[in-house]
Amino acid sequence: MAALIIRGGEVVWASGVFSADVVVDGEKIVGLVEPGTGTAEREIDARGCYVLPGGIDTHTHLENPALSFTTVSSDDFHTGTIAAAVGGTTTIVDFVKSRPEESIYDAFQTRRAVAEEKVVVDFGLHPMVPSNALTAGSIPELRQLAAEGATSWKFFMAYHGMMVDDATLIAGFRAAAEEGVLPMVHAENGHLVQDATDRLVEAGMVEEHHHLAAHTHTSEQEAVHRAIAIAESVGSALFVVHVSSRYAAAEIQLARARAVPVHGETCPQYLLAAYEDYEGLGHEAAKYLCSPPIRERANQESLWDALVSDTLSTIGTDHAAFCMGQPDDLPPQKGRGVGYFPDVPNGVPGIEDRLSLIWQAGVRQGRFDVSRFVDLVATRPAKLFGLYPQKGAVVPGADADLVVWNPELRRTVRAADQHMRTDYNLYEGTEIVGGPTHVFSRGELVVEHGEVTAARGRGRYLPRARPIAPTAGAR
């Protein structure tokens, strides 16, 4: 007899929706059977609901050191993964940043150990390629990490102390192609960003909302264009994180049209929040500061169109939560930069609300159907980041990472109710119709009707395979 049957729901694949009962034994899905058949020790009634694969967020920053390691984001691996699970996300892939005196290999092992003590859902890690990678001998270490299951590497094209030059992009992308690794880029032209910032400071235009003017559409578009050109030249795939500009999305569209294997991600904040929401708010605008920036409202619909057309392939969060107030146990948070945007820690919260916000604005508002929703938030991330078919689909043999999703469940987004460790929510007061009632991670019920039942440290580290067919147009 199986341990669990989820009965009466509509199972959602990226390719379609159908009626089936989902049979779980131990940590695995062992069958999809005709409704009403089979027996189990426990049954979950999913009538009127969808059964989805657990969400996969491949872009989170928990316990994230920022501003040259002088501060850190407010969610640690425990609070952040609790929030993820409550929202229906059962796998995250976070990042590893090495200190100047530390090797990326050693930094990776240290961060993995820290996370394993705290996570309540499964996790992977992307190493960040150091700015001095070519002189510090980092490429061989990255190759070793790839052999051990870190099959995506992140390159920063901006920010002092993190920005890599074109020679590093060329060598790194070539090594990635040889190893079957998916290189990721934070695509902003760092020199343009710094020049714009310097000019704003000289002009005294330093209030928080002026952050947008330092991070122009052009700086993002140019970096995306250059990263694509380098990847195409060395025969590498490419993944562009947190696409915020319609012009950057257009560069990806052009590349995919000529079959360059480039994929792009966007985030809820670029789809649902806008510069008009924080223009002239004084320090309250710090709530919205992230990089690339939250841009003009007129920019949003082009990003939605890019998701519909498959120009953009996934929706992550870039979750990097900071508090507006100052908890005693945290280093300086958003208040560090009052009245001076260069000193405001960049990042916004979102790990808890990703699925429900995209459901509301994407599915309920008719932009795409439930299968495309699942593809964007679970299946495609799993395929691109070496987790499929273990994760990302409701199929026999996969981990039983499952979400029972009630399309009529109603809630209002309130910071007072959230599990993320921050004191605000960008979407305060938003009415959501649709959300999880039960969340399973490897067959274990970790959230039931919003109540967390998962133990600290129960999540596992995930060595990842090479990406599945990271080619343009592949669904």
Q: Strand pairing partners for 123?
A: 92, 461
Contacts of 252 (CB under 8 A, 6+ apart): 224, 228, 240, 243, 262, 263, 264, 306, 311, 312
Residue-wise pLDDT for 373-387, tens only, equals 999 999 999 999 999
Is residue 472's pLDDT more than 50?
no
> Dihedral, CA atoms, 392, 395, 398, 400, nearest 10 degrees?
80
Tokens of 392: 């990302």
Provide CB contacts within 8 A for 56, sequence distance 6+: 89, 90, 91, 92, 93, 377, 378, 381, 382, 385, 387, 391, 392
What pLDDT sits at residue 2?
87
Percent of the chain at pLDDT exceeding 90: 96
Residue range 123-152: average pLDDT? 97
pLDDT band at 412 (very low <50, low <70, confident <90, very high): very high
- Any idea where the domains of the chain sit in the sequence? 2-53+402-452, 55-364
Residue 475 has pLDDT above 50, yes or no: no
pLDDT band at 127 (very low <50, low <70, confident <90, very high): very high
Tokens of residue 80, six digits: 């952040």
Question: Please, what is the average pLDDT of the chain?
Answer: 96
- Kindly state the average pLDDT of the residues 452-474: 82
Contact 371, 13 (CB under 8 A): yes
Mean of the pLDDT values across residues 115-137? 97
For the record, the structure tokens of 379 come out as: 């299946």
DSSP designation for 196? H
55-364: CATH topology:
TIM Barrel (3.20.20)
What's the confidence (pLDDT) of residue 44?
98
In sequence order, the 6+-apart residues with CB closer than 8 A to the CB of 225 are 251
Q: Over the stretch 95-112, which tens digit does the pLDDT of each residue have?
A: 999 999 999 999 999 999
Helix ranges (H only) for 337-455 are 354-358, 370-374, 380-384
CA distances from 74 to 66, 77, 286, 319 (A): 11, 10, 15, 11
Confidence of residue 474 (pLDDT cuts 50, 70, 90): very low
Q: Is the pLDDT of residue 473 over 70?
A: no
Q: Check residue 54 and report its DSSP letter.
A: P
Residues contacting residue 388 through CB under 8 Å, at least 6 positions apart: 379, 382, 468
Section 122-137 average pLDDT? 97
pLDDT tens digits, 15-30: 999 999 999 999 999 9
Encode pLDDT of 338-372 as tens digits: 999 999 999 999 999 999 999 999 999 999 999 99
On whether the CB atoms of residues 407 and 54 are closer than 8 A, the answer is no
Radius of gyration of the chain (CA): 21
pLDDT tens column, 254-282: 999 999 999 999 999 999 999 999 999 99
d(C-alpha 427, C-alpha 440), whole Å: 26
- Provide the pLDDT confidence category of residue 427 given band limits of 50, 70 and 90: very high
Name the band, by pLDDT with cuts 50, 70 and 90, for residue 470. Answer: low
Q: What is the pLDDT of residue 404?
A: 98
Please give the sequence-ordered ranges of beta strands (E in DSSP) within 40-191, or none if there are none: 40-45, 50-53, 55-57, 65-66, 71-72, 89-96, 122-127, 152-156, 182-186
Span 2-53+402-452: which CATH code? 2.30.40.10
| Res 435 pLDDT > 80 | yes
Count the alpha carbons within 13 Å of 240 in the hemisphere toward its beta carbon.
35
Q: For residue range 183-221, list pLDDT tens digits in order.
A: 999 999 999 999 999 999 999 999 999 999 999 999 999
Residues 36-94 pLDDT 10s:
998 999 999 999 999 999 999 999 999 999 999 999 999 999 999 999 999 999 999 99
pLDDT of the residue at 10: 98
Dist. CA 214–CA 191, nearest whole Å: 11
